Amino acid sequence: MAKSKANNTLSITDNRTGKQYDLPIENDTIKAMDLRQIKVKKDDFGMMSYDPAYSNTASCTSRVTFIDGDKGELMYRGYPIDVLAKKSNFLEVSYLLLNGKLPNKKEFNTFEGNIMNHTMIHENIKKFIDGFRYDAHPMGMLMSTVAALSTFYPESKDIFDEETRKIQIHRLIAKMPTLAAFAYRHSMGMPYAYPDNDLSYAGNFLNMLYKMTELKYKPDPIMEKAIDVLLILHADHEQNCSASAMRNVGSSHPDPYSATAASIAALYGPLHGGANEGVLQMLAEIGHKDNIPKAIKAAKNGEFRLMGFGHRVYKSYDPRATIIKDIAHDVFQVTGKNPYLDIALELERIALEDEYFVKRKLYPNVDFYSGLIYQSMGIPTEMFTVLFAIGRTPGWLAQWKELLLDPERRIARPRQVYLGDKNLKYVPMSKRK
Ligand code: ACO
């Protein structure tokens, strides 16, 4: 039976005053601004909600990505992730995220052509990359060269012009693999390999990473497919830390290169995209299956975090981790088994039986197995988060586009609960103790 409109409210009694307030409920949510009317004295500021780290605060409405963390479900624009990973490709998924529907053949060809036409970077960007130290982290190089793109495309500031917005979106999706691969080649002391637009998006990325003296690079189809699926799995994850960075920074209306650089910075952290790098470091430190109980004990004592385990939203197995486990199997057929796989499987088995992890619903997340695949493909650990960033770019841009077109959009500006001093008397330095 449909609920009557009058029942669709939340009644709050303020026991300080005995007053009752009826707040409208929409989509199982109350508006935090509706709390502001709750006051003790007329000139009070009014009540706010306190939610550090936004654990229970929806900051926007969205139609891009759906996650049910308890059921372990992930959908892009309504399509389950396992279906997309099986049947689609990364550029098709990018189109879907950005436009809200799957492209027909003609739309896909145009989109793919647009992306592949923008894979080259200005030669001066290459000079920036040359300027980095030999041991510069590729995420640092990626973050700063993406920010630098804003200076090459000053028209990108015209963010409310649909056509301008579209071109920058194409450029960003197209140039991320080039910047990433150039950063890699720089750190290896190797000459840059230019894009080959005859290849697929994933195939071209492998070309720019690995091409040596051959005239034409031929990607291994299993590797190409694995990279493509991994990019799909990373393409969006609703309002995570880096997407929120995109929306927060984007809300002040900079060009999308600057906002994407902010997302890359957020992704870099070890609690977010940097975790895949952390997993490999952790597995190397554990070194042998016999050392796992000691590692589990240390994690339970709070001495370290089991990298690749736990998630703010998933309280069951991360559906992406299941798909990644299958890809790992395919890739290891070509590359040989990653020596750390046995440690990872045993770690997972023990953790999933351990009361500490079971009670806290800590399961492997997307990062737990992805690093093993990248490592087997010969991709250095420092590049793992860079691959994540390439995959996440269409998601960030879909979130950015949705933000700009949202009539409720305003500059992001959270409140605080101020607990510090007020109106202190200024003591001159000579008189301070
Ligand atoms: N190892 C050991 N204990 C953990 C772990 C872990 N990986 N993750 C959470 N816990 C414990 C916490 O110590 C805490 O225990 P307590 O209740 O006894 O204090 C409890 O589980 C809840 O943890 P929170 O930190 O409150 O969970 P939160 O939602 O804030 O953090 C996060 C989520 C950051 C992902 C966390 O699980 C973590 O640090 N995991 C390791 C890093 C990682 O894999 N990050 C990748 C996330 S996926 C992604 O970004 C693509």
Q: What is the pLDDT of residues 335-373, one digit of tens each?
A: 998 989 999 999 999 999 999 999 999 998 888 889 899
Rounded distance between C-alpha atoms, residue 139 and residue 145, angstroms: 10
Distance 361 CA to ligand 1 centre (A): 10
Its pTM surpasses 0.85: yes
- The reported pLDDT for the residue numbered 1 is 41
Q: Whose CA is nearest to atom 13 of ligand 1?
A: 302
Same domain, 46 and 194: no
Q: Which residues contact 56 (CB under 8 A, 6 or more apart)?
A: none
| Count of CA atoms in the C-beta half-sphere (13 A) of 32 | 12
Q: What would the pLDDT profile of 398-410 be if each residue is shown by its tens digit?
A: 999 999 999 999 9
Structure tokens that stand for 89 in this block: 């490709």
Model confidence at 68: pLDDT above 80: yes
Token code pair at residue 102:
């799957």
What pLDDT, on a 0 to 100 scale, did the predictor assign at position 404?
98
Q: Assess whether 135 and 218 both reside in one domain.
A: yes
Q: Which two tokens stand for residue 220?
A: 């291994």
pLDDT for residue 2: 46
Q: Identify whether 237 is part of a domain.
A: no
Calculate what percentage of the chain has a pLDDT beyond 70.
Answer: 99
Tokens of 205: 């990325």
Hey, whose CA ends up nearest to atom 15 of ligand 1? Answer: 360
Could you tell me if 38 and 86 lie in one domain? no
Q: What is the pLDDT of residue 269?
A: 93
- For residue range 296-319, what is the model confidence (pLDDT) as tens digits? 999 999 998 899 999 988 988 889
Ligand 1 pocket test, candidate residues 362, 368, 370, 385, most atoms within 8 A of CB: 362
Does residue 370 fall inside a structural domain? no
For position 5, what pLDDT does the model report?
Answer: 55
Q: Is the CB of 409 under 6 A from ligand 1?
A: no
d(CA 273, CA 209): 21
Residue 287 within any structural domain of the chain: no
Is 157 domain-assigned?
A: yes
Identify the active-site residue in 82, 272, 326, 354: 272
Do 82 and 174 fall within a single domain? yes
- DSSP label at 364? B
Q: Which of 212, 232, 252 is the last residue of a domain?
A: 232
| Residue 272 among the catalytic residues | yes
Asked if residue 425 belongs to a domain, the reply is: no
The tokens for 405 are: 């077109």
Average confidence score pLDDT of the chain: 95
- Asked if residue 91 and residue 42 are part of one domain, the reply reads no
Confirm whether 14 is domain-assigned. yes
Instruction: For residues 108-137, give the mean pLDDT.
Output: 96
Does pLDDT of 3 surpass 60? no
User: What pLDDT, on a 0 to 100 scale, did the predictor assign at position 34?
Assistant: 98
Q: Do residues 46 and 139 share a domain?
A: no
pLDDT at 4 over 80: no
- φ/ψ of 324, rounded to 5, equals -65, -35
Helix axis angle, 221-233 to 201-210, nearest 10°: 110
Q: Note whether 35 and 126 are same-domain residues.
A: no
Query: Three-class SS of residue 35?
Result: helix
Last residue of a domain, one of 168, 202, 232: 232
Is 311 a known active-site residue? yes
Q: Is residue 224 part of a domain?
A: yes
| Band of pLDDT at residue 426, cut at 50, 70 and 90 | very high
Q: Are residues 139 and 173 in the same domain?
A: yes
Instruction: Please name every residue paired with 80 in a beta bridge, in sequence order, or none if there are none.
Output: 75
Q: What is the pLDDT of residues 206-233, one digit of tens each?
A: 999 999 999 999 999 999 999 999 999 9
Looking at the structure, do residues 73 and 189 belong to the same domain, yes or no?
A: yes
How much is the pLDDT for 6?
Answer: 64
Q: Which amino acid is at 329?
A: H
CA–CA gap between residue 202 and residue 228 (Å, rounded): 6
Nearest CA to ligand 1 atom 9: 310
* Number of domains composing the chain: 2
222 in the same domain as 172: yes
Ligand 1 mean position, distance from CA 317 (Å)? 14
Single-letter amino acid code for the residue at 241: C
Owning domain of residue 112: 65-232
> What is residue 278's predicted lDDT score, i.e. its pLDDT?
87
Q: Are residue 160 and residue 40 in the same domain, yes or no?
A: no
Would 414 be classed as within a structural domain? no
- 206 shares its domain with 116: yes
Provide the percentage of residues in the chain whose pLDDT is more than 90. 87
Mean pLDDT of 253-277: 94
191: CATH? 1.10.580.10
Q: Span 126-141, mean pLDDT?
A: 95
Contact call for residues 65 and 76 (beta carbons, < 8 A): yes
Of 180, 215, 232, the position where a domain reaches its end is 232
Ligand 1 close to Cβ of residue 229 (< 6 A): no
Instruction: Report pLDDT digits (tens) over 140-188.
Output: 999 999 999 999 999 999 999 999 999 999 999 999 999 999 999 999 9
Helix, strand or coil, per DSSP, at residue 238: coil
